[in-house]
Amino acid sequence: MTELAPLRTKLALLRRLRRTARWLAGSGSILISGTVGLFALFALDLYFNLSELQRLVMSGLLLLSEVWVIWRWSLPLFARRESELQVALGVESSNRLDSDLVAALQFESGAATTSSSAQLRQLVIRNMLNQRDRVRWFAGNWNHSIWRYVAAQTLALAMILGVSARWPDHVSAFGHRLLLANARYPSATHLQQIRINHTRVFPSSSDGIRVASPASVATGQKVRFAVLARGLLPATGRVEINHPQFPGRQVPLNRVSLDERRRLLEEGLLLLKQRALGDAAEQSGDWRQTLSELLWLDAPALAQHVEQYNPRQEPPQHYAQAIQELLDTWPTEVDGSAAYTGQLDRLPNPGSYVVQLGDDWTEPAALRLLPLPAIRLEVEVTPPNYARDGTADTADTDTRDVEVLAGSNVRLEVSCTNGKTLRMAAVTLTQGTDRQTIDLHSSGGAAPSWKLPDTGTPLSQVTRPWRYEVQVDDTDGLQPATPLRGRIRLRADRPPTGSARVVHDTVLPDARPVIEYQASDDFGIQSVRMRVDIQRPSTGQPVTPKAVSEGSLRDTPGERHLFPLLKRAPVLASALPLSGRWSLDLPALGVARGDLLKLTLEIVDHRGDFSGERFLDESIVLHVSDERGVLESITKPDIDVEQRLNELIQRQLQTGTCP
């Protein structure tokens, strides 16, 4: 152990303290500048909501400023080194020792033995030892500004810890945002839920990620926004819809009170009750649209189900029960939340949307525009077999109202022409109170068509008129803008027509008069017969023509004979009209003078599996007489003609006579 060991210990302690001061000063500069920079960046980000690029640029500037502080202030302090002699020189200067301390240290270390005597060496060392109690080792050599650095660093750390304890969510969000994460600062207004039409878009998932999801809306339909929020609730909000090539649009969000929301539900319940009682049966419009607009805010699932329901049917009872249960549990006081609604009549083009309410908002999310399914309906009518020669198969895609014969087969085929995929297609047939819904079957393939079953439906063999409506849904749950409706009317199958004539209506008992006949129909004839009614006088007196005209022939019992005139049946429309001559064999009937024969042409048309309609021509009456009677009937027209000519001549003569 050397004699100057106590002095060297003091110098070593002073040396360490000076080095500590330099390190505190250097690190204090880094900490203070970093704290100031972070607080400045935090304030800018909190106020301006910097984007990722802006945060990246600001973080880079903050890092550059820290590098400059380290290079300018901290690095020189960290790099500085002091020896024992340099510290001793500082002590000598502050205590005015005239280099005694440095000389003593050099003498003891042996650096000056060659130039000084041993006595001088001992004298200098002893002199320094005698003065050690009077030396103020830290006066002038200890930088008291170290306490300012310590205070500043303590204040900076206290500010960081205080802010972190007071606003931990803000600090956590700021840390994530510095790492370029999509974090949000807590807000006074808290968005809880956002719906676009019937789709919930915020929060987008159940794991708590508060990001709005993309939404899709139908072309040409209303876009309705519903926002539920808590916290500091403003009177209004807005939805911003932007597109890079079109000007943006703003949809105002208006606050809806609890009373107003309850009133909408009560109106929906009243509408359902009116429909059930039939009070609204004569009202025009689609009740589904009205009811959906009343329910969509507080009963979105029910409103969506209502829109997909058949409007021609009465709403089921459980609709009213669900609304009543919601009204029974309706809150009477505001619970710190509120609802806001906004509506856009039509979205002209796709883009992105941002919902802003108070100091809370959503990040931009895509708002897609979905085309409605463009439906092509083909109606193909196949007439019954008996009518196919006269009527070709018809398939009309432009006209949905068709007129068909009874027994025709009507085939409906639905396809989508704009590339969308259908997930369901059905047709509802209505006739009075009778209503049937039939599912259409998909043909499969890349572009499937949906067809009505060939058998087992009322349209496979039409027997009465129908109204029909086609319902389709695509994979997006969308329907055509206008319903596909039409009518199927029954086309009348006209009754057959015909005529028969004979040359003379007075015949001999053994004659065979020839009757000429003609028959026609629009589709075919099943049978042609001649009905012969014989009236024989029961009193032995002949039946006079006067009695026939007065109707006594109908009242007198007689006998009837039926003679078929067709050799092959049926006769289809291509072979019509049908004409022929038929000879009546009077001797075979055993008629005698004085008998009357009433000949009636009977025609039945051909209607396939259905019963044909019967036609009866005006009857021909034949009088059975002797040769004198036949001669009189032949000459009687000549006498009548001569009499009419004489009357005409007399009138002409009277006209030309002078008065």
| Confidence band, pLDDT 50/70/90 cuts, at residue 392 | very low
pLDDT value for 280: 44
CATH number for position 596: 2.60.40.10
Tokens read off for 624 = 């059975």
Indicate whether 224 and 305 sit together in one domain.
Answer: yes
pLDDT value for 476: 82
Can you give the pTM of this predicted structure?
0.59
Indicate whether 512 and 439 sit together in one domain.
Answer: no
Kindly state whether residue 244 falls inside one of the protein's structural domains. Answer: yes
Kindly state whether residue 658 falls inside one of the protein's structural domains. Answer: no
Per-residue CA distances from 65 to 34, 36, 620 (Å): 9, 11, 126
| Confidence band, pLDDT 50/70/90 cuts, at residue 256 | very high
User: Which residues are registered as beta bridge partners of 382?
Assistant: 409
pLDDT (tens digit, 9 = 90+) per residue, 634-643? 776 656 666 7
Cβ atoms < 10 Å from Cβ of 41:
19
pLDDT value for 602: 92
pLDDT value for 552: 45
Instruction: Please answer whether residues 99 and 92 qualify as being in contact, where contact means their C-beta atoms are separated by less than 8 angstroms.
Output: yes
Indicate whether 203 and 351 sit together in one domain.
Answer: yes
Q: Residue 33's closest CA among 163, 153, 207?
A: 153
Indicate whether 329 and 291 sit together in one domain.
Answer: yes
Supply φ then ψ for residue 186, to 5 degrees: -60, 145
Percent of the chain scoring above 90 in pLDDT = 14
Indicate whether 303 and 336 sit together in one domain.
Answer: yes
Per-residue CA distances from 238 to 84, 358, 523 (Å): 73, 9, 70
What's the gap between Cα 54 and its chain centre?
Answer: 39
Of the residues 370, 397, 426, the one at which a domain ends: 370
Structure letter (DSSP) for residue 541: S
Indicate whether 289 and 435 sit together in one domain.
Answer: no
| Confidence band, pLDDT 50/70/90 cuts, at residue 278 | low
Indicate whether 573 and 463 sit together in one domain.
Answer: no
Rounded mean pLDDT of 491-509?
86
C-alpha dihedral sign at 56, 57, 60, 65: negative
For residue 249, give the amino acid letter: R
Instruction: Please answer whether residues 221 and 346 qualify as being in contact, where contact means their C-beta atoms are separated by less than 8 angstroms.
Output: yes
pLDDT value for 555: 43
Kindly state whether residue 637 falls inside one of the protein's structural domains. Answer: no
Of the residues 466, 490, 514, the one at which a domain ends: 490
pLDDT value for 282: 41
Structural domain boundaries, residue 437 = 375-490
C-alpha dihedral sign at 381, 384, 387, 389: positive
Is 50 exceeded by the pLDDT of residue 285? no
pLDDT (tens digit, 9 = 90+) per residue, 411-423? 999 999 888 888 8
Kindly state whether residue 650 falls inside one of the protein's structural domains. Answer: no
| Confidence band, pLDDT 50/70/90 cuts, at residue 68 | very high
pLDDT (tens digit, 9 = 90+) per residue, 1-42? 566 677 777 777 777 877 887 787 888 888 888 888 999 999
Kindly state whether residue 640 falls inside one of the protein's structural domains. Answer: no
Give the CA-trace dihedral at 572, 577, 583, 588, to 10 degrees.
40
Instruction: Please answer whether residues 500 and 445 qualify as being in contact, where contact means their C-beta atoms are separated by less than 8 angstroms.
Output: no
530 or 385, which is more confident: 530
Of the residues 455, 490, 525, the one at which a domain ends: 490
C-alpha dihedral sign at 562, 568, 569, 570: negative
Of 68-77, 282-291, 436-445, 527-536, give the lowest mean pLDDT range. 282-291
Indicate whether 155 and 193 sit together in one domain.
Answer: no
d(CA 511, CA 533): 17
CATH number for position 478: 2.60.40
Indicate whether 323 and 395 sit together in one domain.
Answer: no
Indicate whether 449 and 323 sit together in one domain.
Answer: no
Indicate whether 582 and 451 sit together in one domain.
Answer: no
Is 90 exceeded by the pLDDT of residue 226? yes
Kindly state whether residue 532 falls inside one of the protein's structural domains. Answer: yes
Using only C-alpha atoms, what is the Rg of the chain? 57
pLDDT value for 90: 67
Supply φ then ψ for residue 169, to 5 degrees: -70, -40
Instruction: Please answer whether residues 395 and 378 qualify as being in contact, where contact means their C-beta atoms are separated by less than 8 angstroms.
Output: yes
Kindly state whether residue 652 falls inside one of the protein's structural domains. Answer: no
Structure letter (DSSP) for residue 466: E
Tokens read off for 377 = 């309906």
Which single residue is written with the structure tokens 């007129």? 403
**What total of structural domains would you count in the chain?**
4
| Confidence band, pLDDT 50/70/90 cuts, at residue 538 | low
Kindly state whether residue 581 falls inside one of the protein's structural domains. Answer: yes
For residue 255, give the amino acid letter: R
| Confidence band, pLDDT 50/70/90 cuts, at residue 568 | confident
Rounded mean pLDDT of 187-204?
87
User: To the nearest whole number, what is the mean pLDDT of the chain?
Assistant: 80
Instruction: Please answer whether residues 27 and 19 qualify as being in contact, where contact means their C-beta atoms are separated by less than 8 angstroms.
Output: no
- SS3 state of residue 560: strand
Indicate whether 262 and 329 sit together in one domain.
Answer: yes
Structure letter (DSSP) for residue 139: T
pLDDT (tens digit, 9 = 90+) per residue, 332-364? 776 778 999 999 988 888 899 999 999 898 888
Name residues whose C-beta falls within 8 Å of residue 462's C-beta, 6 or more positions apart in sequence. Answer: 404, 406, 407, 408, 409, 410, 488, 490
Q: Residue 363's closest CA among 497, 223, 184?
A: 184
| Confidence band, pLDDT 50/70/90 cuts, at residue 622 | confident
